[in-house]
Amino acid sequence: MESTIEPSVALTNDIRHDWQRDEVQALFDLPLNDLLYQAQTKHRQNFEANAIQLSTLLNIKTGACAEDCSYCSQSVVHDTSLKVEPLMDEATVMESARVAKENGASRFCMGAAWRSPTPKGFERILEIINGVKSLGLETCATLGMLTAEQAVQLKQAGLDYYNHNLDTSAEYYDKVITTRTFQDRLDTLSFVRDAGMKVCCGGIVGMGEEQTDRVGLLMTLANLEHHPESVPVNLLVKIEGTPLAETEELDVFEFIRCIAVARILMPASLVRLSAGRQSLSDEAQAMCFLAGANSIFYGERLLTTDNPEADADRLLFDRLGLKPMEVVQA
Ligand code: SAM
Ligand code: DTB
Ligand code: SF4
């Protein structure tokens, strides 16, 4: 059968912030090969084709979170039998960061199960960031909602990136979270930006949303005033005891499409193949890299769930001819 669609690869390196819904939908509607061709072309115009950025995650404060995010093991609202742990001490975090660096990670991301940082906790976080930064790693933190002032303090302490996801489309948002709004998230993101930090912002797919919600999420990210420098695309990790535990599996090709569309809409951003790799085959992950993913979480643990072992990732990289991206610290 002959294809009637001409894959129109834009050979310009333009960064756009005016994506229209029908344009993004049209990308999702392309035959997969055409979509991958466009995404791979954009990828090669902007990045070294076979270099993947490695971020290691550490959950520095676990569980007992006041929010009701229906995907999350750490919400106090869900009965997930997670062991609650207070904020880690600086020495423990530093030791993990050292190991992450030795293993080849370029960025160390610290997550805390907070709606927003507690005053006491925040003071300790500033010291921890300062310490991790001194190891020569890029620093990233995800601590919930921030005030403008907290964002400035984090920047001054040496934080390079702040991770705060939109999670889903504005329309689907209140099916997933009711304890804070989509606008709250946008506000935190603008405080982070104004403080001069880099933004790590993406979402989760496979939460039972429609394709139009995936279109909406990616379009909103691409139409932010500045594209997030990092765009994590998470595939829902289904956690027993959460309302989303029994959600129907997302078609793997739809997940790959999301990565490809993210790459085309935000051509100069790192697109991270994030949570959910445990449920993807090596072949599916290889297709995600072909679709323009050029960042992963590296190390056997995400926040509260497992990630592939570092050895397994090294083997996959060898088999695919991929190498860790060298990141020069600022
Ligand atoms: N408490 C902070 C917050 O929510 O802003 C920071 C940590 S929170 C766990 C960081 C992000 O991880 C969430 O916004 C969500 O996108 C992602 N995430 C959490 N649980 C997930 C799951 N089960 N599957 C996929 N992604 C998940
Ligand atoms: C992001 O976008 N994904 C990470 C990180 N930012 C903090 C978290 C994934 C969590 C997966 C489920 C868990 O381990 O609890
Ligand atoms: Fe709390 Fe973050 Fe989990 Fe939501 S995603 S329940 S804010 S830890």
Has residue 1 been placed in a domain?
no
What is the reported pTM? 0.92
Has residue 21 been placed in a domain?
no
Domain count, the chain: 1
Instruction: Report CA-CA distances (Å) from 214 to 22, 32, 112, 148.
Output: 13, 16, 26, 29
* Nearest ligand (C-alpha, residue 237): 1
Has residue 33 been placed in a domain?
no
Note the pLDDT of residue 6.
38
* Residue ID of nearest Cα to ligand 1 atom 2: 144
Q: Report the CATH number at residue 105.
A: 3.20.20.70
The residues assigned a catalytic role are: 65, 69, 72, 109, 140, 200, 272
Q: Is the CB of 142 under 6 A from ligand 2?
A: yes
Nearest atom within ligand 3 for CA of residue 111: 8
- 193: domain range? 38-320
Query: What sign does the dihedral 236-27-270-299 (CA atoms) show?
Result: positive
Q: Is the CB of 292 under 6 A from ligand 2?
A: no
Has residue 25 been placed in a domain?
no
pLDDT band at 329 (very low <50, low <70, confident <90, very high): low
Rounded distance, CA 118 to CA 138, Å?
A: 24
Has residue 163 been placed in a domain?
yes
pLDDT band at 313 (very low <50, low <70, confident <90, very high): very high
Q: Cα(76) to centroid of ligand 3, in Å?
A: 9
Instruction: Report CA-CA distances (Å) from 90 to 30, 116, 121, 240.
Output: 49, 19, 12, 31
Has residue 75 been placed in a domain?
yes
Has residue 27 been placed in a domain?
no
Rounded distance, CA 137 to CA 260, Å?
A: 28
Q: What is the C-alpha radius of gyration for the chain, rounded to an integer number of angstroms?
A: 19
Mean pLDDT value across residues 43-67: 93
Nearest atom within ligand 1 for CA of residue 65: 1
Arithmetic mean of pLDDT over the chain? 92
Note the pLDDT of residue 9.
42
In degrees, rounded to 5, the angle at the alpha carbon of residue 108 between the alpha carbons of residues 267 and 301 is 100
Has residue 14 been placed in a domain?
no
